[in-house]
Structure 1
Amino acid sequence: MAELRVPTLQHLARNWRMNSQMIAKALVRLAENPPLFNYNPLYGAVRDLLILGVPYEQVEAGIRKIKREKVRNNLLSILPLVRDHFSGLHPDFFQVVERRYYPVGRGLMVPFEPPMIYGIGGQLYFPWFSFWRSNPLADERLSLFVTLVEEVLLQDPDLETAKFEILDFSAADSKSPRELRIIDARDVPRLSEERKTKMLDIFAEGYLKAVEDLAGRRSPSSKDQPDNRPDPDQPSFPF
């Protein structure tokens, strides 16, 4: 039987729909067609470039060792943008932030794990990486994500002054190359408490419907399963 994992905050926002039934369908589809890779090598590349001072050519060579061509090319399309953004920065410190959980409702605790924070000249920076090629967070979904993240950050006095930026590495269309768009979270409208609560209630209801739907299905035998692997650029949970 397909397994539905609890989404991260970013994936909660990405998979939010106008009603719970649409959310359930999206989550079931995702559970039945999980992604076959994640972007973890790029987080390692950021640390190598930003903190350890590893030459770019060496970092690139490491990515080129990935065997699957589609995965390798996807990562290599992002790596130069990562290099250009962090080029010339010399952090005074760098650290990983421990995982936190946001209570969505109905017993659903959604994980939130910032990839890193770093400080330069007394200013704390919190970059959030969005590696989706298409359909990045926008409009109300983006507001939902930023609103929730801000609540989590404000719970920690060590992080409440951090400069929160979203690094969006998407492309304008399927034929265009990726570009880096930097979104200052201060420019993103926040949701009202009423609207946020309503959106979270809808998501929690959709998630529980998806769990029930998957529990009621029988897993087909391997010979009956279609050989259609999911596109890694589609909404996914990067575990």
Structure 2
Amino acid sequence: MADLRIPSVQHLARNWRGDSKTIARALVRLALNPPRFNYNPLYGAVRDMLVLGVPYDDVVKGIQKIKREKVRQNLLGVLPLIRDHFAGVSPDFFQAIDKRYYPVGRGLMVPFEPPMIYGVEGQLYFPWFSFWRQNPLSNERLSLFVTLVDEILMQDPDLETARFEVLDFSCRSPKQARELRVIDARDIPRLDDHRKTEMLECFAAGYFQALEELAGAPPPPPGGQKDDRAPDPNQPGLFD
């Protein structure tokens, strides 16, 4: 049986579709052809530059040690945008956040693990890094993600006043370079409880349908993808 990992909050939003059967098909495809690439080195790069004061050129040299060329070039395509965004930022503090879980329905608990928070002159910042090259969260899927994150943040008195920003590093078209679009979460419409529950129930139904389908499917070939393509999941891995 192919391994269908429980999606994180952002991957739930991205893989949401209008009916459970379409969600199930999307999740089955992902389980049978999982990505072999993540953006974890970029989180380390942010920490090194913001907290440790590591020079940008040294961070680049670290990324250049990655053996797979397409992976290396993908990371280097994002790194200058990260540098420019945080240029001049001197945080008073910087810390990782413990993983939390959000109940979707039918016993399905999806993980939510923010990469970091930091404070500058009394203002707490919560950046969410969206590294998808194409088809980033938008419209109702973005509203679903922001709505769920809001609920999670409001449960923690230390985070409820944080400025929540989505840092979208996608391309406008496949042939163009990445650009950084900073989305203030306050500008994203929230879903009402009825629509949120409806969407979550639909996703949960699709997830369990996918599990049933995969139970009778042959396992994927050892090692997954054999070529050197660099699939483009979000942080830190498709279902992390």
TM-score, normalised on structure 2?
Answer: 0.95
Correspondence for 1:205: 205
SS of equivalent to 1:183: strand
Aligned partner of 1:200: which letter?
L
Q: 1:174 to 1:22 in 2, by over 3 A?
A: same
> What's the offset of the Cα at 1:218?
2.5
SS of equivalent to 1:61: helix
Q: 1:238 to 1:66 in 2, by over 3 A?
A: farther
- 5 Å-filtered alignment, 1:1-239, equals 1-219=1-219, 227=226, 231-233=230-232, 237=238, 239=240
Aligned partner of 1:34: which letter?
P
Aligned partner of 1:151: which letter?
E
SS of equivalent to 2:101: strand
Identity %: 68
Structure 1 residues 25-63: Cα deviation after superposition (integer angstroms, max 9, x where no partner): 000000111111100000000000111100000000000
TM-score, normalised on structure 1?
Answer: 0.95
> What's the offset of the Cα at 1:5?
0.3
SS of equivalent to 2:119: strand
> What's the offset of the Cα at 1:238?
5.2
Structure 1 residues 102-158: Cα deviation after superposition (integer angstroms, max 9, x where no partner): 000000000000000000100000000000000000000000000000000000000
Aligned partner of 1:122: which letter?
G
SS of equivalent to 1:167: strand
RMSD between superposed Cα atoms in Å = 1.6
| Bigger relative CO (Cα 8 Å, ≥ 6 apart) | 2
Aligned partner of 1:194: which letter?
H
Query: In the aligned structure 2, how far is the partner of 1:99 from the partner of 1:128?
Result: 14
Query: In the aligned structure 2, how far is the partner of 1:205 from the partner of 1:166?
Result: 28
Asked if structure 1 preserves the Cα contact closer than 8 Å seen for 2:99 and 2:113, the reply is: yes
Aligned partner of 1:7: which letter?
P
Q: 1:230 to 1:201 in 2, by over 3 A?
A: farther
